[in-house]
Structures are given as C-alpha cells and as structure tokens.
Amino acid sequence: MNTHVKPGIWRRTGNARTAFLYLLPSVILFSVFVFYPMFRTIYLSFFLTNQNGEAALHVGFENFAYLLESSAFLNSMKATVLFVLYTVPIGIIIALFFALLANEKLKGIGFFRTVYSSTMGISVAASSVIWLFLFHPSVGVFNRVLSVLNFPQIQWLLDPEWALISVSISTIWMNTGFSFLILLGGLQNIDEHLYESSRIDGAGYFYRLRRITIPMLSPTLFFIITISLINAFQSFGQIDILTKGGPSQSTNLIVYSIYREAFINYQFGTASAQAVILFIIILIVTILQFKFGERKVHYQ
C-alpha cells in the first residue's frame, strides 16, 4: 500500500503565500504609483482624448505617426539628445575630479566634502531661481564679470544659441552633488592596501589612477552613468523655471514638451505617445549601456 500521500495544494503553496504576504506592501505601492500610470499611459497613447483627459477616439498608431513627422517633436528630441550629451559626460568628469580631490586624507577635508555634496540638498526649484539671477542679462554675475573683462555681453537664457548651454551648466551644477557623493563612496570602498602595495612597487599617482582607481571604481561609475543618463532625459524643473522651453523651442526638452502637450494643449493622447517614446528611448539606451558598458566593469 502506498502510504505516501501527496500534501494538498493549500499546504504545498504555504511558502509562496507567506512570500506574497511579505511582498504585498510593495506590490500595492508599485501598482498604484508605477504600474497603473504606466499602463494607463500606454493605453492613452492609442487614443485622442477629450478635455477631461478621457479616451475619446481610438486612432491606433496615428499619434506616433504624427509625432515622428512633426518638426516640433523632432526638434525637441534633438534638444534632448544635445542636453544629455552636454550634461552627462561633463557632469560625471567634474564629480569624479571633486571626489578624487576630496578622497585625499587632509586636514579639514570634511568641510570640502560637505561643500561639494551640498547641491544635493537644494531643490531644483530653489537652485533654478538662484541661476535665474546669475544669468540675468543686466544684474547677473556672469554678465558683470564679462563686462569687467571687456567681453561682449551674452543673453544667456534669451539667445537661442546659448539657452540650452546655460540650462546645461545649471543642470551640471545641480547634479554634481549627487554624483560626487556616490563616487566618493565608491572611492572610499577601495581597499587602502592596494594603494600601499602599489606605492611599494613605486607606482605614481596617474599610474595608480589608471590601473587601480578607475577599474576598481567601474561598478560605481557604471551605476552613476546609468542614473545620470536617465535623469538627464527626464529633466523638467529647471526648464520650467529658467526658460519655459524657449526661446524659439530651443530648450523644449521632451519631458517639458510632454507637460505642455498634456496640461496646456490638453492633448493627452499625443502627450502619452511622447511619454511612451521617451520610455522606449531610455530603455534602449540603458540596455545598450548594460550590453556594451558592463564588459568594462570589474565587479568584486
């Protein structure tokens, strides 16, 4: 007689049910604030909407087709790509430079660590207002300095040639604090003995930087590059306060363009379609980065 009785389904799934119970709080939070809006956006991107943002007319892929032909959208894409190229590499190089400086064991280095990371503690809105004053055509510090040095005045935020660069400068300044802090953390995690051992071998500063610091920091660098790229694609606050997308659409980055389309023109359908395109772009960039960038990363 077979005495081995298969336990009932209720008992067999005991662990799974317990696990789900533990996951429940995050499942609820993610569903309400991430998954629902995401699927709602994808849904809306296939519709034309009425004034209240409700789906009114199913148009299939027409929203996307319209966007890809619209010069305003393509211009906004171009501005976004330029903005990413301006801010991400320079921002990370500056943050890395500061982190390397602040990683030296010197008296009073704590003060500099605080100063370099302090931009993290300032909200985008507050720092944008500060930069608004710095960029001011007549009373701004930059133009004052230029006039003292007898250089021609620059219409920082009003000149279409300069506006994107000005916004990029302020964005780099805002993001440096966070990148600095993460990179400094990464540097401090590197075993001090590696440097001591290389000092006994006689390795100079730049040799150590090239053969020890950068490879050992590569996981952190990879992380901060990914995060910075995503952040740059999603910049909004500083645009809204500094330029409102102008002059002549030169700083109309894609997230700002989505905002205008949805909440000023009440075109929730095309706004959602733009959001979906942005999502796909970020996804592709991140996948590419993992595919090609991660090969150069040395995990412990």
Amino acid found at 54: E
Tell me whether residue 58 or residue 210 sits nearer to other proteins (CB atom).
210
Q: How many CB atoms lie within 10 A of CB 62?
A: 16
Do 85 and 165 touch, CB atoms closer than 8 A?
Answer: no
Select from 2, 26, 51, 300 the one that contacts other proteins (CB under 8 A): 300
Q: Can residue 298 be called a binding residue for other proteins (CB under 8 A)?
A: yes
Phi, psi of 8 (to 5 degrees): -65, 165
The least CB distance from residue 191 to other proteins, in Å, is 7
- The DSSP annotation for 16-51 comes to HHHHHHHHHHHHHHHIIIIIHHHHHHHHHTTEEE-T
Select from 187, 203, 227, 285 the one that contacts other proteins (CB under 8 A): 203
Q: Can residue 215 be called a binding residue for other proteins (CB under 8 A)?
A: yes
What is the rounded CA–CA span in Å between residue 44 and residue 41? Answer: 5
The least CB distance from residue 295 to other proteins, in Å, is 13
The least CB distance from residue 206 to other proteins, in Å, is 12
Select from 60, 108, 121, 202 the one that contacts other proteins (CB under 8 A): 202
Tell me whether residue 42 or residue 214 sits nearer to other proteins (CB atom).
214
Amino acid found at 182: I
Contact region with other proteins (CB under 8 A), list: 26-34, 91-99, 205-213, 236-244: 205-213
Tell me whether residue 89 or residue 204 sits nearer to other proteins (CB atom).
204
Phi, psi of 299 (to 5 degrees): -80, 150
Q: Can residue 207 be called a binding residue for other proteins (CB under 8 A)?
A: yes
Specify the 3-state DSSP secondary structure of 154.
coil
Q: Can residue 61 be called a binding residue for other proteins (CB under 8 A)?
A: no
What is the rounded CA–CA span in Å between residue 8 and residue 220? Answer: 48
Contacts of 288 (CB under 8 A, 6+ apart): none
DSSP code, position 294: G
Contact region with other proteins (CB under 8 A), list: 7-15, 25-33, 67-75, 200-208: 200-208
Do 273 and 45 touch, CB atoms closer than 8 A?
Answer: yes
Tell me whether residue 203 or residue 227 sits nearer to other proteins (CB atom).
203
If residue 95 lies in a helix (H) or strand (E), which one and from where to where? helix 71-102
Site for other proteins in 180-199 (CB under 8 A): 191, 193-194, 196-199
The least CB distance from residue 205 to other proteins, in Å, is 12
Residues in contact with other proteins by CB under 8 A are 191, 193-194, 196-203, 207, 211-212, 215-216, 218, 298, 300
